[in-house]
């Protein structure tokens, strides 16, 4: 999401159910009569449903155009020869009994640009983008006018590529932003910030870097066509005054504009968005995206997409809002948008034809782009029937397709997703191990209990945060996405920098490189957190740069940025060096990079830390140190002891069970090579850990 604090806002709402649908309405604007009228109106328009193929498509030399909108009184198609044509040819569309508007041509129209003029009662017609558009040309300005592009499908040479079908328990996930991975000059990439740049061979950054680190799955921040441009700073458009975004950009991509089209910005080798110019007109993003997926698959690295189906691009004109606001959006009785997402307009996912669009979008990315899985933004805002339909239909295509989500939005229910076979981000382990905030909300690695965390809860995280613990969230360990850092909030490295008091939250960083270089104390806590993360059952996720304690320092250039020169925790709007991966900093902290690489290698080799059952873990009491955790792990013919000590002042002396024990991980190194052999007593230093394997 574009702002992590949105998720913690408590909004006064009432939630009521109609069949499998959920409607969320602002209490302050709702009476019983209004609620009844709203239900009645939604019931009436939900009677419209069609199985006809929608959007634009070609069959047997004929081109079909179809758009669903039950409330429009007139719809016409407009076709253009070029993206920048102001005037196009307009064709009347006819409506069938199920509210599908359509027109047919006895020819193929590949390479043409198009959109729909949609007219509602007492309103002027609005030129709208096809919600099923497979490629999009966008004019880079406020409101972002867009045109669909008629493209030929099923003509890409996949060279026998297929999905990476991997057991969820084996996933080691790397969350990343396509542009950020190669836009910094240190990446050495020629086509910086692009799909193609990401897969250039022999470069410092991109695919070779990810392969060297060893992760087996990447998760792309939103890469469906999205709104790059917000509204003018200190100016107003459509009644909203921009006081928060001096960059006027949406960099992360959590404002989807087209659910079937890849983001065109990542197909253009440019240093920044060029205003008042068309982008994406060549539809090159389609083949570039496929090249990217195929290249990762050749390295046995799966590709998961972060997708946003809970709300739509907020600062645009000519999308579902103008096609049929009453059908596609959750509204208050006064006609205003429900905004539980914090992003202005929540989609009415329970509407049958919108549910169909969401499901078909997911299936399209699986079939057309060979996507291996999905992470759903604010998943709780999507109704349960849609959630269930998505996984049911997707597993028909790929039984191992991955579905994870944020279990937030209009509630918090990771177990609800787990019961339906979905994974979810585990914020318990994030807050318990790291803490909730670096100022006064420190967690276990600092030798502190945050909130209701305790020894019992820490043990629960080791086993996958299961409901059988009475403290847990998940039915199965592989439904828990364990993480300490994501795109939201402070990086793990910056959390520790501020948490130790080495940097103040509002301090101006005068030397960015010096700030990035870890101190011995910072390095210890980074390693301890990583060690706990990689030895816990579930899906393991790290965010790009976590492996070298990435620091997000806002450049001094923008005078209007209140965070200029400071460590930043919410960088959704910055297409600059605060977000780009600086590979020089990876070299600065090579020790930590090697530690992460070793932990990844270790986890991939030893199934015990991925496949062990609940009863395979035996916790060993530690006297006089609540922040030390010791357990023995027996799985098949392998026997391990994990020793973790988060106390900042006390060492722990531990008497080993009989036998010879190989040290594979200690406070300095991690991996699969034996560092030394011990057989009696071992000492765990402060803020560190060890993994031993019985010889």
Residue 4 pLDDT: 37
CB of 554 closer than 8 Å to CB of 565: yes
Is residue 409 situated within a structural domain? no
pLDDT tens-digit profile of 235-245? 988 788 999 99
Residue 158 pLDDT: 98
State the pairing for strand pair 89-92/21-26.
unpaired
For 605-626, give the DSSP string: H-THHHH--GGGEEEE--TT-T
The whole-angstrom separation of Cα 318 and Cα 259 is: 15
User: What's the CA dihedral at 626, 629, 632, 636 to 10 degrees?
Assistant: 140
- The CA distances from residue 142 to 224, 263, 622, 634, in Å, are 19, 17, 60, 59
The tally of domains found in the chain comes to 2
Is residue 127 situated within a structural domain? yes
Residue 20 pLDDT: 34
Please state which of the ranges 64-68, 520-524, 655-659 shows the lowest mean pLDDT. 655-659
Is residue 674 situated within a structural domain? yes
pLDDT at 546 over 80: yes
pLDDT at 297 over 70: yes
Residue 133 pLDDT: 98
pLDDT at 680 over 90: no
Is residue 189 situated within a structural domain? no
pLDDT at 471 over 90: no
> Which of 126, 149, 172 marks a domain boundary?
149
pLDDT tens-digit profile of 551-569? 999 999 889 999 999 999 9
What percentage of the chain has pLDDT greater than the value 70? Answer: 96
Is residue 106 situated within a structural domain? yes
* Mean pLDDT along residues 317-340: 94
pLDDT tens-digit profile of 266-292? 999 999 999 999 999 999 999 999 999
- Helix-helix angle 352-369:284-298, to 10 degrees: 60
pLDDT at 486 over 50: yes
Is residue 631 situated within a structural domain? yes
What percentage of the chain has pLDDT greater than the value 90? Answer: 89
Is residue 72 situated within a structural domain? yes
Average pLDDT, the chain: 93
Residue 31 pLDDT: 66
β partners of residue 74:
119
pLDDT at 504 over 80: yes
pLDDT tens-digit profile of 159-210? 999 999 999 999 999 999 999 999 999 999 999 999 999 999 999 999 999 9
Domain at 71, CATH number: 2.60.40.10
Report yes or no on whether pTM surpasses 0.75: yes
**Structural domain that includes position 116:** 59-149
Q: How many CA atoms, within 13 angstroms, populate the side-chain half-sphere of residue 115?
A: 27
The whole-angstrom separation of Cα 351 and Cα 357 is: 10
Q: What contacts 131, CB < 8 A, 6 or more positions away?
A: 54, 55, 67, 258, 259, 319, 320, 323, 357
Residue 436 pLDDT: 96
pLDDT tens-digit profile of 419-462? 999 999 999 999 999 999 999 999 999 999 999 999 999 999 99
SS3 content of the chain, % helix, strand, coil (to 5): 30, 25, 45
Domain at 648, CATH number: 2.60.40.1180
Q: What contacts 480, CB < 8 A, 6 or more positions away?
A: 423, 424, 426, 429, 464, 465, 473, 474, 537, 538, 539
To which H or E segment does residue 688 belong? strand 688-694
The whole-angstrom separation of Cα 307 and Cα 221 is: 8
> Which of 130, 149, 168 marks a domain boundary?
149
pLDDT band at 41 (very low <50, low <70, confident <90, very high): confident
Q: What contacts 239, CB < 8 A, 6 or more positions away?
A: none
* Mean pLDDT along residues 509-537: 98
> Which of 149, 178, 195 marks a domain boundary?
149
Is residue 439 situated within a structural domain? no
Closest CA to 640 of 618, 614, 613: 618
pLDDT band at 30 (very low <50, low <70, confident <90, very high): low
pLDDT tens-digit profile of 595-607? 999 999 999 999 9
The whole-angstrom separation of Cα 213 and Cα 202 is: 15
pLDDT at 312 over 70: yes
Q: What contacts 86, CB < 8 A, 6 or more positions away?
A: none
pLDDT tens-digit profile of 109-153? 999 999 999 999 999 999 999 999 999 999 999 999 999 999 999
pLDDT tens-digit profile of 73-85? 999 999 999 999 9
State the pairing for strand pair 146-149/480-482.
unpaired
pLDDT band at 40 (very low <50, low <70, confident <90, very high): confident
């Amino acid at each position: 999401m574009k702002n992590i604090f949105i998720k913690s806002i408590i909004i006064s709402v009432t939630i009521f159910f109609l069949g499998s649908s959920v409607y969320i309405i602002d209490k302050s604007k709702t009476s019983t009569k209004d609620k009844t009228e709203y239900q009645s109106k939604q019931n009436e328009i939900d009677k419209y449903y069609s199985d006809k193929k929608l959007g634009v498509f070609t069959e047997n030399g004929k081109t079909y155009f179809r758009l669903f909108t039950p409330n429009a009184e007139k719809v016409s198609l407009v076709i253009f020869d070029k993206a920048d044509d102001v005037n196009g040819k307009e064709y009347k569309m006819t409506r069938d009994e199920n509210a599908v508007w359509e027109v047919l041509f006895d020819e193929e129209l590949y390479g043409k640009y198009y959109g729909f003029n949609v007219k509602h009662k007492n309103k002027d017609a609005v030129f709208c983008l096809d919600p099923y558009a497979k490629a999009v040309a966008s004019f880079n300005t406020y409101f972002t006018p867009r045109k669909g592009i008629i493209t030929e499908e099923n003509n890409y040479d996949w060279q026998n590529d297929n999905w990476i079908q991997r057991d969820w328990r084996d996933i080691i996930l790397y969350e990343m932003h396509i542009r950020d991975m190669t836009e910094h000059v240190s990446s050495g990439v020629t086509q910086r910030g692009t799909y193609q740049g990401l897969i250039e061979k022999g470069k410092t950054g991109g695919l070779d870097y990810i392969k060297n680190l060893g992760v087996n799955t990447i998760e792309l921040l939103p890469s469906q066509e999205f709104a790059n441009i917000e509204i003018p700073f200190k100016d107003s458009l459509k009644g909203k005054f921009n006081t928060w975004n001096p960059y006027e950009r949406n960099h992360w991509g959590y404002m989807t504009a087209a659910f079937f089209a890849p983001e065109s910005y990542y197909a253009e080798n440019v240093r920044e968005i060029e205003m008042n110019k068309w982008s994406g007109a060549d539809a090159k993003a389609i083949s570039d995206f496929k090249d990217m997926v195929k290249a990762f698959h050749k390295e046995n690295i799966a590709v998961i997409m972060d997708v946003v189906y809970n709300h739509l691009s907020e600062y645009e004109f000519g999308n579902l809002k103008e096609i049929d606001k009453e059908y596609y959006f959750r509204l208050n009785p006064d006609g205003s948008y429900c905004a539980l997402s914090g992003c202005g307009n929540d989609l009415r996912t329970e509407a049958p034809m919108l549910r169909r669009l969401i499901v078909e979008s997911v299936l399209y990315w699986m079939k057309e782009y060979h996507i291996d899985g999905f992470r759903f933004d604010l998943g709780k805002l999507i109704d349960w029937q849609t959630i269930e339909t998505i996984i049911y239909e997707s597993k028909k295509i790929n039984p191992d397709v991955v579905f994870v989500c944020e279990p937030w939005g209009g509630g918090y229910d990771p177990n609800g997703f787990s019961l339906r076979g979905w994974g979810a981000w585990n914020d318990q382990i994030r807050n318990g191990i790291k803490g909730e905030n670096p100022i006064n909300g420190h967690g276990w690695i600092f030798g502190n209990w945050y909130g209701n965390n305790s020894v019992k809860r820490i043990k629960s995280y080791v086993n996958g945060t299961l409901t059988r613990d009475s403290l847990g969230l998940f039915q199965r360990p592989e439904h828990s996405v364990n993480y300490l850092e994501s795109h939201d909030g402070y990086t793990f490295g910056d959390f520790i920098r501020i948490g130790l008091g080495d940097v103040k939250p509002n301090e101006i960083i005068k030397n960015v490189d010096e700030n990035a270089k870890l101190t011995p104390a910072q390095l210890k806590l980074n390693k301890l957190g990583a060690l706990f993360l990689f030895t816990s059952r579930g899906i393991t996720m790290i965010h790009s740069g976590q492996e070298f304690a990435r620091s997000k320092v806002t450049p001094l250039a923008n005078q209007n940025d209140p965070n200029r020169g400071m460590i930043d925790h919410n960088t959704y709007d910055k297409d600059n060096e605060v977000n780009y991966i600086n590979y020089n900093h990876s070299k600065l902290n090579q020790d930590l990079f090697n530690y992460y690489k070793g932990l990844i290698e270790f986890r991939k080799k030893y199934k015990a830390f991925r496949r062990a059952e609940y009863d395979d873990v035996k916790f060993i009491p530690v006297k006089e140190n609540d922040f030390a955790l010791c357990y023995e792990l027996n799985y098949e013919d392998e026997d391990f002891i994990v020793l973790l000590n988060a106390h900042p002042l006390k060492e722990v002396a531990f008497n080993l069970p009989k036998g010879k024990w190989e040290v594979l991980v200690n406070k300095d190194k991690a991996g699969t090579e034996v560092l030394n052999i011990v057989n009696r007593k071992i000492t765990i230093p402060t803020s560190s850990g060890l993994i031993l394997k019985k010889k």
